[in-house]
Structure 1
Amino acid sequence: MNKDLIINAAPTGVEIALLEDKKLVELHNEKSDASFAVGDLYLGKVKKLIPGLNAAFIDVGFEKDAFLHYTDLSPYARSILKFTQQAIGDKSEEGFDFTKFQIEPEIVKTGKINEVLSGKPNVLVQILKEPIAAKGPRLSCEISLPGRYIVVTPFNDVVAVSKKIHSSEERKRLQKIVESIKPRNFGVIVRTAAEGKNAADLHEDILMLVETWKNIQKNLRSAVAPCKILSEQDKTTSILRDLLNEDFNRIVTNDKNIYNDTRNYIQKFAPDKAEIVSFYNNGIPIYDQYGVTKQIKSSFGKTVNLPSGAYLIVEHTEALHVIDVNSGYKSVSNNQEENALQTNLEAAEEIARQLRLRDIGGIIVVDFIDMKHPENKKRVQDAMEEFMRPDRAKHAVLPISKFGLMQITRQRMRPEVNINTSEICPCCNGTGKTTPSVLLVDEIEKRIHYLVTHQHKNLTLMVHPILYSHLTKGWFFNSIQAKWKRKYKTNIIVKKNNDYYFTEYHFFDSNDEEIKL
């Protein structure tokens, strides 16, 4: 699979499009004034404890207080509270040595929020979910710092290896390397990208993340809640960090700074891939040049058309998302069951793409075309799971029910991407109502009467070509235009304009200046 990353820098921010085999699958928008992104660290102030929810509301500077549930506190919550207070009050130049920090006992899984956060202290928290709709950010105290090959989790000494690395020998090798090089009080999760890497690569990643942790300590010194302590890397770098592999064959950007930063980043972690980064400067918008704009316009909206003639209807409610599969005029055989199966398989691939592209989270209900045979239903479920495998968001796919419905849950991390691709009708301005065509001529005549009585002479009427034909048809003396001239004893010239919509018309005076009514 070939992957292209198209990065469009604009004054309002950076737009990032991920294409797989030239098909748009992910769209990210990083605004220049964005805040409260997933991964950001804040010093928050506990505002309110809610024992009934076993949760707390934390002030992190957002207009609505952020939400912190007990299950997101981290087993090392008491160590985090102790560290936060110690770092704020630290007066030393270099800061205290975290490897000598005394870890506190873990909290119990079934405990109460007011037992841990009593006294409403300041606490170091990480954004788990961005603000969505009317909700504030969701927080976690399970601090994690992601690198290219590893993720560092302070306050413990646990070493874990990604389950996606299937070789038991490779898992043991990586675990042994990390255990020998990691500092005390830092847990490490080895990522899938670390497979086959040597100790020097892993050590460099650990040193970089430990340095990031020292910056966090430094930023906490004398900090006053609420305030941001550390920002996640920009979205371009984080996408490269999470996705960069041998499948990438092109990264294009129209910004020189992003080009240099991206090239330097890749040079550091994958020197052999540095040549795939290129700078675009061709006059034509970069999204137009690589076909992204066209795909955006065709992929968003209520109706999504499939190449075969089948189509999807995507509806959103407060509680869930509903996707209806329709066969349209598609027909692959005279067998109704086979037609339903092939349409559902095609729809499953597009649905998996749409979930990633729109970043739809929560509960998704898919109404597939009814199939009678259980083995066909199983084929559609297996296909959906396979199509969703590249999706980085946590998800679960349930079997198709006897009503033909499939339920999918997908992790909701940030607001859904919603691009309005419809346009307001120029005739009705979106109301769905317009002047009846049989009354249009009467309306124009009333305007002529008004203008003539207000001392306007030698009028020019500009109309749509169809209306022009209607007003000037027939013999010269029998046309509607001629009748108006005789009736109002003034010269009325009718002209046509191909850019006008059907019911649009404008009057101009003898100086070709528009008469505003």
Structure 2
Amino acid sequence: MEEVFIERQKNILRIALKENNELKECFIEEESLEPSPGEIYKGVIKNIVPAIKCAFIDIGCEKNAYMYIHERYGNSQVKNGDEVLVEIMKEPILDKGPKVTSQISVPGRYVVIITYNKNINFSKKIDDNDNFKEYIMSHLNKPDDVGIMIRTNALNVEINDINKEIEELYSIYKNIVKQGCYSIKPKLLYDGGGSLGRILKDILNENTEKVICDNKEDYDFISEFIKNKSDLNIELTMYFEEENLFSYYNIEREILSLRNSKVVLPGGGNIVIDKTEAMYVIDVNSAKNIKETSIDKTALNTNLEAAKEICRQVMIRNLSGIIIIDFIDVNNYNSKKKIMNVLKDGFREDKKKTVIYPFTQLNLVQIARKRRGKSIYDYIEEDCNLCKGKGKRIKFIYISSLIKNEIIKMNRSYNIDDIYIEVNEIYQKDILGDVLSFIKLINALDKKVYVNFMENLENFKVEPLLFNSQVKKIENLKIYG
């Protein structure tokens, strides 16, 4: 059973996918004015640099987009001043603008309208289903001027559902082209429902039983999205409580635990995940795994458990780019094959393009995973400048939200006026520098707040002060009220 939890806080959208009550994937996206993958823009070519075969395009945003030029992309004839329709492939990073392509696509649940060819194409995951392919080829209503990519979800529905979606998507595509022709300036033409629409297309399936969200606009969008989808039977629920949805369903705690670099495996071994400037490095250790009768069996058992957990952690944390795994040394070909099979199975349903390379002579496995969005770390951590080093801390705004949720929980059980908070001393300047802003963040304007800044405190603590004797002991810690 799969459940999807959708929480929106101002400009932050968070989506958690649980399978059998275990966190399977987590998406955190910041809704901003910056271009996002999948959006389609009208642009004007401003500059072409032949040396790097690249065109720079004004799409109406702060930074010009860049597009590689090549015959295989069908854009080798472009010149300065040309108006073009482009799709965002990668969002802007630092001083680099967004990467775009002139081969635009309009995705649906069962098919994708494509422009890079005019054929009927099939997802690689349904390559072996020849009967299905033959049936689709003879019954599909395909427009002449576009191609169609058949997605794996099409396996679960009737041909009428597929043709109906093609009709809807083609109408959207023609409207995009029309807007592009009549628009005077570069601008956004299509966003596909934004981050929410893009993610829902990937994660909702026949196993999804429940979707819970806390925003009325999102509720209406999801309701329309799942309507008349014959392969979906989803209970959609609106969440109304004051406490954050992720906190109420204990997802917040699970997300926070992802800051830990070490993950313990069922057999007693562990994996350690570290981020360098260029890549992620995952080390596999046998640690306390002493159940097997030989070193080889212990190594294989630990490696297999690690491979399975690594797939889960990579998807939950949204790790991308180059990922290097240092497995415990194994020299047996069959053992390596078993480990590779576990990795392939674990990423089989991954919607991002993931390539797993064979073992090297040093027993390392390299994974290349397509970047889309930021990792969990980017949203819950920030640089800590206290010691002028390169350390990280939980973002101040994030830990303030966690404290606020704890106060909301307390208010359910007690009618409290005084609150005691323990927090790491690295937040002392943030809190005491603007006490009123902090009090507003934690929604405690009607309380008396006492804060104890602790050295090397791993987490934080929030407690109600129920007795006068408690208040008198910590009167010197009072910051508000």
Q: Cα distance, 1:57 vs. partner?
A: 1.9
Q: Select 2:121's aligned residue among 160, 164, 186.
A: 160
Local SS of the residue matching 2:281: strand
Kindly indicate whether residue 361 of structure 2 is the aligned counterpart of residue 399 of structure 1: no
**2:42 partner amino acid:** L
**1:343 partner amino acid:** T
Q: Which residue of 1 aligns with 2:132?
A: 170
Q: Which residue of 1 aligns with 2:46?
A: 47
Identity, % of aligned pairs? 29
Q: Which residue of 1 aligns with 2:92?
A: 131
Q: Cα distance, 1:420 vs. partner?
A: 6.9
Kindly indicate whether residue 312 of structure 2 is the aligned counterpart of residue 353 of structure 1: yes
What is the 5 A alignment of 1:448-459?
none
**1:172-226, CA deviations, whole angstroms, 9 ceiling, x for partnerless residues?**
1111111xx2222122122221125334212221221122123213322442343
Question: Could you tell me how far apart the structure 2 residues matched to 1:416 and 1:352 are?
Answer: 15
Question: Could you tell me how far apart the structure 2 residues matched to 1:249 and 1:515 are?
Answer: 48
**1:292 partner amino acid:** I
Q: Which residue of 2 aligns with 1:58?
A: 57
Q: Which residue of 2 aligns with 1:69?
A: 68
Q: Cα distance, 1:352 vs. partner?
A: 1.0
What is the 5 A alignment of 1:287-298?
287-298=246-257
Kindly indicate whether residue 224 of structure 2 is the aligned counterpart of residue 264 of structure 1: yes
Q: Which residue of 2 aligns with 1:145?
A: 106
Q: Which residue of 1 aligns with 2:297?
A: 338
Local SS of the residue matching 1:52: helix
Question: Could you tell me how far apart the structure 1 residues matched to 2:331 and 2:116 are?
Answer: 54
Q: Which residue of 2 aligns with 1:9?
A: 8
Pick the structure with greater CA Rg: 1
In 1, are the aligned partners of 2:267 and 2:291 still within 8 Å (CA)? no
Q: Select 1:367's aligned residue among 326, 340, 345.
A: 326
Q: Which residue of 2 aligns with 1:285?
A: 244
Question: Could you tell me how far apart the structure 2 residues matched to 1:228 and 1:424 are?
Answer: 33
Local SS of the residue matching 2:93: coil
In 2, are the aligned partners of 1:161 and 1:174 still within 8 Å (CA)? no
Q: Cα distance, 1:127 vs. partner?
A: 0.4
Q: Cα distance, 1:24 vs. partner?
A: 2.1
Q: Cα distance, 1:280 vs. partner?
A: 2.0
Local SS of the residue matching 2:376: coil
Structure 1 pair 431–70 and aligned structure 2 pair: CA distance change class (3 A)? closer
Q: Which residue of 1 aligns with 2:212?
A: 252
Q: Which residue of 2 aligns with 1:182?
A: 142
**2:334 partner amino acid:** E
Q: Select 1:413's aligned residue among 361, 372, 393.
A: 372
**2:38 partner amino acid:** G
Question: Could you tell me how far apart the structure 2 residues matched to 1:324 and 1:224 are?
Answer: 54
Q: Cα distance, 1:338 vs. partner?
A: 1.5
Question: Could you tell me how far apart the structure 2 residues matched to 1:120 and 1:41 are?
Answer: 19
Local SS of the residue matching 2:374: coil
In 1, are the aligned partners of 2:34 and 2:61 still within 8 Å (CA)? no
What is the 5 A alignment of 1:200-211?
200-211=160-171
In 2, are the aligned partners of 1:397 and 1:408 still within 8 Å (CA)? yes
**2:360 partner amino acid:** S
Q: Which residue of 2 aligns with 1:236?
A: 196
**2:166 partner amino acid:** I
Structure 1 pair 239–413 and aligned structure 2 pair: CA distance change class (3 A)? closer
| Higher share of residues assigned strand | 2
Give the TM-score normalised by the residue count of structure 2: 0.75
In 2, are the aligned partners of 1:131 and 1:414 still within 8 Å (CA)? no
What is the 5 A alignment of 1:422-437?
none
5+ long unaligned stretches in structure 2: 390-421, 423-449, 458-474
In 2, are the aligned partners of 1:161 and 1:190 still within 8 Å (CA)? yes
**1:340-386, CA deviations, whole angstroms, 9 ceiling, x for partnerless residues?**
11211111122112221222222211111112323222211111111
**1:98-140, CA deviations, whole angstroms, 9 ceiling, x for partnerless residues?**
xxxxxxxxxxxxxxx4xx1234412111001112344321111
**1:381-406, CA deviations, whole angstroms, 9 ceiling, x for partnerless residues?**
11111111111111121222221211
Q: Cα distance, 1:142 vs. partner?
A: 0.9
Number of aligned residue pairs: give it: 402
In 1, are the aligned partners of 2:118 and 2:148 still within 8 Å (CA)? yes
Q: Cα distance, 1:499 vs. partner?
A: 4.6
**1:182 partner amino acid:** K
**2:41 partner amino acid:** Y
Local SS of the residue matching 1:268: coil
**2:202 partner amino acid:** D
RMSD of aligned residue pairs (Cα, Å): 3.2
Q: Which residue of 2 aligns with 1:456?
A: none
In 1, are the aligned partners of 2:8 and 2:14 still within 8 Å (CA)? yes
